[in-house]
Amino acid sequence: MCLGALVDAGIPLKKIEQGLKKLPVTGYTLSARKAKRASLSCTKVDVVLTGKGDGQAWGRKWKDIERIIKRSSLSDNIRKQGMGIFERLFKAEAGVHGKPSRDVHLHELGAVDCIVDVFGTLIGLDYFGVEAVYSSPVNLGGGHVTAAHGLLPVPAPATIALLKGVPVYSSGAPFEFTTPTGAAILKSLAKGFGALPFFMPERTGTGAGSRDLKDRPNVLRIFIGDFHREMSHDSVTVIETNIDDMNPQVYGYLVDLLFREGALDVSLTQRVMKKMRPGVKLSVLCNKSVRNDLIHLILRETTSIGVRYYEASRVTMERYSRQVRTKHGKVGIKISSLGDIRKYSPEYEDCKAIAKKSGVPLLQVIDEARKTAMKESRKK
């Protein structure tokens, strides 16, 4: 499906074939054709095994894959990315079966079509000059799948091991929508998971899955475009809970504690709860790495008995800080920029200290610091 989406987006299949010839792997051919999935036009790419050479290989170990990658004449970047994807696959399988990575056979995942899928995807992304990959939450599917080890539940154990820390869901269909190979590609390449980030799409591609489902298009879509160069794009976690039975004195202590433990932002919003009780919505913005710690802190320090959280994409202006000298003293200024937009934010604590010491109104200190920063910027 990755290859189909890339070909549908505009890379000639021959370009992928030429790139794959740099790998010492034989025994396969690639084919591409237009298809429809639930009335949606898409491209189906198949890896057809010829039954000759490497097309008969099965159950490769890590040393076999490593040898193939090291003997290839692909670019260093593609080899490094490919090595990382297969390392993830082997570690996941090793964890599932309780064996060292060097002793694990990848069975289906060590076959030629898996190698072609991984490196064909990397070649396609390199062709388009893709610098960063972002993914939606991952639909795992449901039911069971037949593998070399017999009947396995969906998601397969290796798939869910690979997707630890990634937002996933199941749409309820009794099919496997994400394989271990697809999971390893996404986990290795994606810089973030969540809603579509803010960017300008220039190309789209739709790759077809093998099944043609009646109630939904079984496809993978890719959008290729440009971020605004002066914008910063990342993903953050939003944690929320509603509270209507807590002493208001606790909130100040709680906010300080959340910031100390890694929160990026904390806000309190008045709202009317059930039975018309006044309440507060606590909202916390944080990086995923501290999400669980902050949830535990909230449940420990408040009367809340549950929280909700979700991943969100955000766009921020470029920011830097410097000091300006006013007639009342030095003030730190945070400057945010985007194209011809400039914003100047004096540091509150600096301005407060000057106001207390000089007796000048705080608003006047803030205003003078902002005007001084703007004046100095125009001179540069």
pLDDT tens per residue across span 313-361: 888 888 888 999 999 899 999 999 877 788 999 999 999 999 999 999 9
Per-residue burial over 207-219, b if 16 or more Cβ lie within 10 Å, else e, is: bbbeeeeeeebbb
Instruction: Kindly report the average pLDDT of the chain as a whole number.
Output: 90
pTM above 0.95, yes or no: no
Of the candidates 220, 167, 170, the one whose C-alpha atom is nearest the C-alpha of residue 192 is 167
pLDDT, residue 109, reads 47
What are 172's two structure tokens?
A: 């309820």
Domain 232-306 CATH (choose: 3.40.50.720, 3.40.50.300, 3.30.70.1380, 1.10.132.20): 3.30.70.1380
| 132, 191 contact by CB (below 8 A) | yes
87 pLDDT band, cuts 50/70/90, is very high
Contacts of 188 (CB under 8 A, 6+ apart): 81, 84, 85, 88
More confident residue, 82 or 110: 82
User: Where are the chain's structural domains?
Assistant: 2-227, 232-306, 317-379
Q: What topology does CATH give the domain 317-379?
A: Ubiquitin-like (UB roll) (3.10.20)
Find out whether the peptide bond into 201 is cis, omega within 30 degrees of 0: no
